[in-house]
Structure 1
Amino acid sequence: MDIWEKLYDEAKCLYNPHEVSPFIYAQHVVCALEAEDGQIFTGYCFEATAGVFHLCAERAAAFNMYQQSKQTKIKKIITFRNEAPSGLGGMPCGACREFLLQLNSDNLKTEFMVDYEKREIITLEELLPKWWGVDRL
């Protein structure tokens, strides 16, 4: 079993789409990440009608990683809904891309699973090649 299978298995057991209230929908997007030390952390999307309360699965997993281990570097991330990413699946939103880079600029090397079957990945650096924050480091 490779690391991507481990990440997929850890995330897929979280998939349980449901309404928390008439305003909040949760667990319809799940994520698992591999931290720098090899530990796996998970998270799921918590989506509210008021956008400021929205928390993507990637940011939830990264928050769990930091909260539980104080780590900020991420090697690999897989994110999906009801099935493994295929084609251009698993892409982080702009807020997640920005957050991961602000968490640690070394996360430019973080790999995102694009197509699980083909084991196609893309790095955060490829997704955000000219990050504004480099000048602040």
Structure 2
Amino acid sequence: MDIWEKLYESASPLYDPHEVSPFIYAQHVVCALEAEDGQIFTGYCFEATAGVFHLCAERAAAFNMYQFSKQTKIKRILTCRNEAPQGIGGMPCGACREFLMQLHPENAKIEFMVDYSTRETILLETLLPKW
């Protein structure tokens, strides 16, 4: 089993889209990341109508990584919905890109899964050039 399969198997059980309240929708995007030391951390999207409280799956996973291990460097991230990323899937939003770069400068080398079946990835520095 390669690391991408491990990440997918860690993230996919979290997928459970549902309304928390009439104003909050959760678990419609899930994420697993591999920290610098090889540990896997997960998170899911928690979206509220109040724009200031929108927590993407990638930031939730990174927060969990820091909360439980104090790590700030990330090797790989896989983000998905009900199936593994295919084609242009798994791309982090601008806020997540910025946050991950702010977390540690070496995170420019984070690999994001683009296409699970072909194992195509893209680096954060490609998604956020000249940061």
Which TM bucket (shorter chain)? over 0.9
The Cα shift of 1:32 comes to 0.0
Q: Number of paired residues?
A: 131
Counterpart for residue 78 of structure 1: 78
Q: Aligned partners of 1:130, 1:19: CA distance in 2, in Å?
A: 38
After superposition, the CA RMSD in angstroms is: 0.3
Q: Aligned partners of 1:50, 1:117: CA distance in 2, in Å?
A: 36
In the alignment, structure 1 segments of 5+ residues that lack a partner are: 132-137
- In the superposition, the TM-score normalised over structure 2's length comes to 0.99
Counterpart for residue 31 of structure 2: 31
- In the superposition, the TM-score normalised over structure 1's length comes to 0.95
The Cα shift of 1:122 comes to 0.1
Counterpart for residue 135 of structure 1: none
The Cα shift of 1:94 comes to 0.1
Q: Aligned partners of 1:84, 1:39: CA distance in 2, in Å?
A: 20
1:120 aligns with 2:120: yes
Q: Aligned partners of 1:3, 1:39: CA distance in 2, in Å?
A: 11
The Cα shift of 1:5 comes to 0.1
In the alignment, structure 2 segments of 5+ residues that lack a partner are: none
Q: Deviations over 1:49-69 (max 9, x none)?
A: 111000000000000000000
1:9 aligns with 2:15: no
